[in-house]
Structure 1
Amino acid sequence: MRKVPLGRSGLEVSRLGYGCMGLAEFYGEALSNAEAEKILEDALERGVSFFDTADMYGSGRNEEQLSGFLKKHRDDVVLATKFAIRRGDDGAWLGLSNDPKYIKEACDASLKRLGVDVIDLYYMHRRDKEVPVEESVGAMAELVKAGKVRALGLSEVSADTLKKASAVHPIAAVQSEYSIVTREMETGIVPACRELGAAFVAYSPLGRGLLTGAYRSERDFSDGDYRLVMSPRFADGALEKNLPLVDQIIAIARDKDATPAQIALAWVMAKGDDIIPIPGTKKLSRLEENLGALTVELSDEDIAVIEAAVPPEAVVGARYPETTASSLNG
């Protein structure tokens, strides 16, 4: 597995990372701690060194799921987690906080759940616009000085917010959704990241599974899968309207002797070594399929064909419902 720089932080991460969110919640039944540890071990064994979680995934459970794995492999892992989206122990959504006092409390709680002394990359998960970003990043910078955090990140922020934050402390990475079906970041935050020397970490690079071709109707989702409720591209008939776009990717993949998921990941990686996708999965077969994208080579002509087949304006449904969309591009 080739490694790439994480911005100017001095950290290096695997070319393909691993998003841990689905281990604890959202995509059907959660894995047990033992099952989660097994898939994390499988990923590490295959060269993945960049693991991404957050304190809100499973209301802290996802961080706890990583603790046994980290106890054995801490020196082999670049660990990212996040704060800002507050949840109760019962899973209730309690709003956002970027308050400096809360940031320090959240960091200590994450360190305890993860069972580590330091977090490699600590993200502001969402921007709370009631708190000046300079104050929040100032508090995050104090965590670096205290030795609790190595590098700072932001998630789903605007270019203007990134510039303001970078004036307080270097930002190693910005995380946002990015895939063949979600491309608005190309004209705002990605250029700003490059200007300021921050890596861009792409979550949901498979379009929340849409680009795998595995989902053809609501019957293909597990019970409790949040996409049917919280992802407009899958609900209220949008999935069926998006299938012709998926079928285009399937056809391109067939011509390249690859799977549609591999084409989707290869497309993201072709955009530059500073763009690092973090697909997640609960299955070893899907993990190995995702890693197969590393050997898929796309020419400029291939990329043009892919982008012509799936123009952004043809995608049906927003990426988040209106109730949560206000926290994006903060």
Structure 2
Amino acid sequence: MTLPTRHLGPFPVSAIGLGCMNLNHGYAAPTSQEQAERVLLTALDEGVTFFDTATLYGFGANEIRVGQILGKHRQRFTLASKCGMQGVDVNGDGKLVRVIDGRAATLKATCEDSLRRLGTDVIDLYYLHRWDKQVPIEESVGALADLVREGKIRSIGLSEVSADTLRRAHAVHPITAVQTEYSLWTRNPEIAVLDACRDLGVTFVAFSPVGRGFLCGPLDIGSFGPTDIRATMPRFSAENYAANARLLAGYTAIAEEAGCTPAQLALAWLLHRGEDIIPIPGTTSVEHLREDLAAADVKLSGALMAKLDAFFHPKAVVGSRYNAQGNREVDTEQWPGEAAA
């Protein structure tokens, strides 16, 4: 497969990247090393040239996997990782707790750890995973700018920030990319930050582009295990999911009209929203990986795009995307009443 390319700052990358989180973190138990190899190497063989990981994922285990499996192919792809949110043994009992820490010294130390785990001399795109609101964004970005000057990272990204925070950060050092959840059922970037990205020439990287599985078809929410982050998300509560699931029949009908699967329709919609948008779906399945990548060949008419926009308007979706703690931790714009939903 030959995937079309898009520009991520100075890097030409495949129009669809791969989010690597699922292999270690977020949904089910970590995959086996053999399955991780199948997914990552198949992605590379199928033309993916943009891989996204983070210090947080598996508390470093995901970076280790990406480094072990893809290290020998390092010149063939653009590598992104993230800092500012990691596991810390705060109680001295050996149990790691997720901590947001944007202090300069922490970010620089985390980068050294990431370089070691990834087995590379430089990270192409290094994101601030969350803005630590106890630390001015200018201070955190200043630390990342030092890493650019030292040659340890090539460019800077931000994750889950508002338009105002992006502009403040960009004034310190050019920001290459903003990564935020964006899909048909999460339209928050359209409030302000997507326009800010375009004003500043910043690429928008869309994570969870298939709505954490919602846009792939019906889910059995009762099967979510203890490590599945969706179990804490209001949209996936029994009551809210039942309301949201009513959208699926109409959505599936639109996918049939477009001649593609529901997951492909979700990805194709994002690709058609602008050349400056790069979705990074994640999966533990080679079959699903190939299905996702085939979305690059799906063509959507203006009329069908308008139908999707109208069908998935923000008020159509019930529930906030994060719980109260998650909403406090992000800096993204919200629709009126969303945080309380």
Q: TM-score, normalised by structure 1?
A: 0.95
Q: How does 1:150-229 map to 2 (within 5 A)?
A: 150-215=154-219, 217-219=220-222, 221=223, 223-229=225-231
Aligned to 1:111: 115
Query: Which amino acid in structure 1 is aligned with residue 145 of structure 2?
Result: A
CA distance in 2: counterparts of 1:222 and 1:28, whole angstroms: 8
CA distance in 1: counterparts of 2:200 and 2:39, whole angstroms: 35
Aligned to 1:306: 308
Query: Is the 2:221–2:238 Cα contact (8 Å) retained in structure 1?
Result: no
Query: Is the 1:4–1:14 Cα contact (8 Å) retained in structure 2?
Result: yes
* Of 82, 103, 106, the match for 1:102: 106
2:198 counterpart SS class: helix
Query: Is the 1:21–1:280 Cα contact (8 Å) retained in structure 2?
Result: yes
1:125 correspondence with 2:113: no
The one-character-per-residue Cα deviations of 1:135-168 (angstroms, maximum 9, x if unpaired) are: 1111101101111000100001111111111111
| Farther off after superposition, 174-183 or 314-323 | 314-323
Question: Post-superposition shift, 1:134?
Answer: 1.1
The one-character-per-residue Cα deviations of 1:39-67 (angstroms, maximum 9, x if unpaired) are: 10000100011000100011111101111
Aligned to 1:14: 14
Aligned to 2:80: 80
Cα 1:193–1:248 change in 2 (3 A) is: same
Aligned to 1:266: 268
Question: Post-superposition shift, 1:80?
Answer: 0.4
Query: Which amino acid in structure 2 is aligned with residue 85 of structure 1?
Result: M
CA distance in 2: counterparts of 1:151 and 1:301, whole angstroms: 38
Cα 1:227–1:100 change in 2 (3 A) is: closer
Query: Which amino acid in structure 2 is aligned with residue 198 of structure 1?
Result: V
Task: Give the RMSD, CA atoms, in angstroms.
Answer: 1.4
CA distance in 1: counterparts of 2:246 and 2:264, whole angstroms: 18
Unaligned runs of 5+ in 1: none
Q: How does 1:223-262 map to 2 (within 5 A)?
A: 223-262=225-264
| Farther off after superposition, 227-236 or 285-294 | 227-236
Q: How does 1:12-51 map to 2 (within 5 A)?
A: 12-51=12-51
| Farther off after superposition, 76-85 or 88-97 | 88-97
Aligned to 1:315: 317
CA distance in 2: counterparts of 1:227 and 1:291, whole angstroms: 25
1:71 correspondence with 2:54: no
CA distance in 2: counterparts of 1:156 and 1:223, whole angstroms: 25
1:72 counterpart SS class: helix
Query: Is the 2:218–2:245 Cα contact (8 Å) retained in structure 1?
Result: no
Query: Which amino acid in structure 2 is aligned with residue 160 of structure 1?
Result: D
Query: Is the 1:58–1:91 Cα contact (8 Å) retained in structure 2?
Result: no
Aligned residues: 326
Query: Is the 2:38–2:286 Cα contact (8 Å) retained in structure 1?
Result: no
Question: Post-superposition shift, 1:183?
Answer: 0.4
Unaligned runs of 5+ in 2: 333-341
Question: Post-superposition shift, 1:12?
Answer: 1.3
Query: Is the 1:248–1:310 Cα contact (8 Å) retained in structure 2?
Result: no
Q: How does 1:283-294 map to 2 (within 5 A)?
A: 283-294=285-296
CA distance in 1: counterparts of 2:224 and 2:65, whole angstroms: 21
Question: Post-superposition shift, 1:276?
Answer: 0.4
Q: TM-score, normalised by structure 2?
A: 0.92
CA distance in 2: counterparts of 1:76 and 1:240, whole angstroms: 43
1:122 counterpart SS class: strand
Q: Percent identity?
A: 46
